[in-house]
Structure 1
Amino acid sequence: MTVNEAAAETRRTLLDIVLLACGEADADRHALAAADPVALGLRNATEITREAQASGALHRTSLELASAGSDLRTFVLVRLTDDGRAEPTWMVNGWSTIRAHGARADLRGAVLRGADLSGARLVGADLTDADLRRADLTKADLSGAVLRGADLSGSVLFSATLRGADLTESDLCRADMRHVDLRGAELMRTALRGADMWGAYTWDVDFGRAFTDGAQLDRADTLNAKVS
């Protein structure tokens, strides 16, 4: 078993962290139904649940929700009864749940465009291919997070921690990265064009394989950095 495979086995699914936040258990008897915030003014949780079950749109992971075209802003936690019916139990704010319980979570493919994740604890989370465009990650802790292929263009990472994070092929173009901690981060083919790096901690970071046009690296704290 590889290190990445072992790490994946210890990560919690989106359903797992929702159950934790709601004080519920038994993942096998629960699922998530996406709830468009606009539609909430027209349909209640019961109607949303019925429609989701009828269309086979009950999910357990962020990747399943993304494949169905749903973001993680709001959804209904659903309990599955013995006779096969789906009953709503909680209306869930996905952004708040991830802020509080996202550490070591499996959030691959998550659609978090424009999400308020300021102060989020996302240590060791897997955000591979996640859509974090224009997300607010101010002071978020993403230490050791996997962000391979993630889109963070235009996001706010002011004073965030990306120490030891895997940013391979991620997009950080025009991101606000002032005072971000990048020490030990992997920047293979990472796009940093136009990113504001003022005061960023980049000691011993190798930018040689990243795309850094207009990234204002001269504004970063590059003590002992390898910059090409």
Structure 2
Amino acid sequence: MTGNEATPENRPTLLDITLLACGETDSDRYALAPADPVALGLHDTMEIAREAQASGALYRTSLEVAGAECDLRTLVLVRLTDNGRAVPTWVVNGWSTIRAHGAGADLRGAGLRGAGLSGAHLVGADLTDADLRGADLTKADLSGAVLHGADLSGSVLFSATLRGADLTECDLSRTDMRHVDLRGAELVRTALRGADLWGSYTWDVDFGCAFTDGVQLDRADALKAKVS
């Protein structure tokens, strides 16, 4: 790692980007409560915030949310008052928040199975061990992203950019990777079984340490002249 690379300690957290999306500040006074959309229809947000606080289910990072086996689709932003009471302030679509503000963020372990992240700006994000199975990442920009150990099996990466991404031990089985830009990506023990690489840009990519059973690498495009 070079001195210019981000570490978990200096990356914005899930709470940080949620506050940014909501126009709030002072992260020490806020936390996130993952919410089931069905529960939101049955209970008011005050009750959800109160129950989350009572059970210790208030979080700041995607890794903490993953540890509680919750996903990020719906989040309640909670403000902690001076007397320690949890008061709900916003109900947030976590997918939209990450799609718009996830660049460079610490999203390790993020529960994003089936997420709608088409066009997401995730340049340089840390998605280590994230669950992105079946996610829609059409035209997403994941340049320089860290996807070490992430599961993207069955996802759609059509026309996405993975240029310079770390895909070490990433599961890309059965993914739609047509027209994906893989230039300079690191594919060490990366599972590509059954992936469709038709028209993808693969020069400077070493597939020698990847699992490519059932992959037609000749469908990829290794000609530099095709992309400026």
Shorter-chain TM-score tier: over 0.9
Deviation of the 1:3 alpha carbon: 3.1
- Are the structure 2 counterparts of residues 169 and 93 from structure 1 closer, same or farther at C-alpha, using a change threshold of 3 Å? same
Count of aligned residue pairs for this structure pair? 223
Deviation of the 1:102 alpha carbon: 0.4
Within a 5 Å distance, the mapping from 1:29-178 to structure 2 comes to 29-178=29-178
Deviation of the 1:218 alpha carbon: 1.2
Q: What's the CA shift string for 1:168-188, capped at 9, x where partnerless?
A: 000000000000000000000
Deviation of the 1:223 alpha carbon: 3.6
Give distance in 1, aligned partners of 2:123 and 2:13.
Answer: 15
SS in 1 for 2:6: helix
RMSD of aligned residue pairs (Cα, Å): 1.2
Deviation of the 1:99 alpha carbon: 0.5
Q: Give unmatched runs, 5+ long, in structure 2.
A: none
Amino acid paired to 1:118: S
Amino acid paired to 1:84: G
SS in 2 for 1:16: helix
Which residue matches 1:18? 18
Give distance in 2, aligned partners of 1:58 and 1:4.
Answer: 33
Q: Report the TM-score when normalising by structure 2.
A: 0.95
- Are the structure 2 counterparts of residues 181 and 26 from structure 1 closer, same or farther at C-alpha, using a change threshold of 3 Å? same
Alignment check: 8 A CA contact 1:204 1:223 kept: no
Which residue matches 2:214? 214
Q: Report the TM-score when normalising by structure 1.
A: 0.95
Q: What's the CA shift string for 1:28-79, capped at 9, x where partnerless?
A: 0000001011211111111110100000000000000000011000010000
Alignment check: 8 A CA contact 1:127 1:145 kept: yes
